[in-house]
Structure 1
């Protein structure tokens, strides 16, 4: 069920927009400033009826030192850590809702998304930063400048989550995988690009890839938020795209050096395949790519998880 370019064209598709001048410096300064803002990693162990895992309610410093919430689920004798970032509109929910990677024997950090958690799962982290005029949703929030963009804050939170792992019970000196679906996939790729401590990364149908192409290729949200904004602010198209280029994952992934896995639904109207392939084709070394010709934004679903479990055994634990 193709909704975009044929697969042969996707495999060679390149992002039509160049990366902003000084992009690496922009992100180096963003991360340095947030790390300098301080803040403590706090992990409070909870009494919980799950008998095979220990549960910690975690707060760690994110962008500008803002407190970000997470769950830390720890099995006995954990080997390796999986940090999971969440899809658009969702929050960390309750501890028992996300136990997959702890059940596989990994320390498992489930990271809340600031200002989200009221669409498909509950969240606990506010976003204390204001913004100017924007379309409903997150994509155009703070679009006045790269410095005020919502997604600058959220991608910084992803990097700081990786920082936090070493200070969690049982987290020190563990290899780290970052994983996520949709928005969470974008955060995983950004964290891998911006943090040398990431051992391996996985993104299922990632958001924020090839933004200028994606907004043209789909009638579905969240990219329609940008379309709505540009339909109203008719004279700001180039300005808005130039700002969003700073968080376009296709411009960040050339910095990834760890083994990476990406899956794409060729029928995906939410995160169009051409946008995702703009990121895939910018990566060197090339990622391991799986395409699902009859699937949409769900990608491979549980099939992706089963393949990822073997991938993590190999790349995080060195098992064949």
Structure 2
């Protein structure tokens, strides 16, 4: 059973419910000034785990606020520059096992998989701790000024990662792609929006889109349950509901989509209860770049059979969207 109330035809013309802050463009232009003015600093440390024909390293770089962000960096042992794919993980997770990236190496890619700050990886949370806070990241900073929203900083981490990796002599900075699902899908799209050097993106059922629509559909379990906790704790009568959703608009990915220049391949399950299809269409319909949506009518927030095979060929340039 799906939580969705729109037909597919209706979703194809849907452009979102969540309010867009009036100063949204200025907000992100100033954020990008932070990226442009921040020096790239990185440390590359060989991993204790190595595979034949692959160099595995820990790449540690600085966010715009000085936080130390970790990523797994794998590249083929070969001469010359290689293309790179940036991988982003799901909410509350981490960059995953090294061996999961080897198929990309076989296709000739270097791989950079970032640990989101404050989640299950090793990236530094400037709130004062390393490691996971599990959830609450959507609403963190919501009662403060918009610049304190945690996902603003995570979004900027993706841009700083691209800026940093593009300076590596072994990387072909003209062939950079992104890939991810759920939170990872959202961050892949955000990365493409904030980093015009990204040429292609493969995303599955992206998170962080159209929060008010999520609320109206009563999707208050799983990843979005913190919206419910927030209102119960800080606005039990919903007297400031419009203000809060407008502030969440700063980190609503749908409004960044017109900035994306990369070609997009997008996988969606119409029975997705974690990231309902209409919330995804709100972002997809705002894309101006070349795009293709692959629809799985009977699938939800789960493995979409064959999609990543198509996605790998797409990022390899073997198959166009």
User: Does the alignment reach a TM-score above 0.5?
Assistant: yes
Q: 2-side partners of 1:51 and 1:225: how far apart?
A: 43
Superposed CA RMSD: 2.3
C-alpha contact (below 8 Å) 1:71/1:92 kept by paired residues = yes
User: Cα distance, 1:310 vs. partner?
Assistant: 1.5
C-alpha contact (below 8 Å) 1:90/1:116 kept by paired residues = yes
Name the structure 1 match of 2:239: 235
Alignment TM-score, normalising by the size of structure 1? 0.89
Structure 2 SS opposite 1:175: strand
Q: 2-side partners of 1:42 and 1:23: how far apart?
A: 34
Q: 1-side partners of 2:280 and 2:320: how far apart?
A: 29
Q: 1-side partners of 2:311 and 2:320: how far apart?
A: 13
User: Cα distance, 1:139 vs. partner?
Assistant: 1.3
Long gaps (5+) in structure 1: 118-122
Name the structure 2 match of 1:87: 90
Q: 1-side partners of 2:149 and 2:56: how far apart?
A: 33
Alignment of 1:11-30 (within 5 A): 11-30=12-31
Q: 2-side partners of 1:56 and 1:157: how far apart?
A: 19
Structure 2 SS opposite 1:80: strand
Q: How many residues align?
A: 309
Q: Given the alignment of the two structures, is residue 140 of structure 1 paired with residue 139 of structure 2, yes or no?
A: yes
2:106 aligned to which of 103, 106, 114? 103
Q: 2-side partners of 1:273 and 1:93: how far apart?
A: 26
Name the structure 1 match of 2:127: 129
User: Cα distance, 1:318 vs. partner?
Assistant: 8.6
C-alpha contact (below 8 Å) 2:20/2:246 kept by paired residues = no
The worse-fitting range, judged by mean Cα deviation, of 232-241 and 264-273 is 232-241
The worse-fitting range, judged by mean Cα deviation, of 183-192 and 284-293 is 284-293
User: Cα distance, 1:247 vs. partner?
Assistant: 0.9
C-alpha contact (below 8 Å) 2:82/2:171 kept by paired residues = no
Q: 2-side partners of 1:94 and 1:81: how far apart?
A: 18
C-alpha contact (below 8 Å) 2:271/2:299 kept by paired residues = yes
Per-residue deviation, residues 210-234 of structure 1 (Å, max 9, x unmatched): 1110122224222121122123313
Alignment TM-score, normalising by the size of structure 2? 0.89
User: Cα distance, 1:136 vs. partner?
Assistant: 5.5
Q: 2-side partners of 1:101 and 1:32: how far apart?
A: 32
User: Cα distance, 1:47 vs. partner?
Assistant: 4.5
Name the structure 1 match of 2:37: 36
Q: 2-side partners of 1:9 and 1:319: how far apart?
A: 27
Structure 1 SS opposite 2:171: coil
Name the structure 1 match of 2:315: 312
Q: Given the alignment of the two structures, is residue 245 of structure 1 paired with residue 249 of structure 2, yes or no?
A: yes
C-alpha contact (below 8 Å) 2:88/2:181 kept by paired residues = yes
C-alpha contact (below 8 Å) 2:60/2:68 kept by paired residues = yes
Dislocated runs of 4+, deviation >4 Å = 317-320
Name the structure 2 match of 1:204: 204
Name the structure 2 match of 1:188: 188
Structure 1 SS opposite 2:198: coil
Q: Given the alignment of the two structures, is residue 53 of structure 1 paired with residue 79 of structure 2, yes or no?
A: no
Q: 2-side partners of 1:61 and 1:222: how far apart?
A: 27
C-alpha contact (below 8 Å) 1:135/1:228 kept by paired residues = no
Per-residue deviation, residues 193-248 of structure 1 (Å, max 9, x unmatched): 11111111121000011111012222422212112212331322112111110110
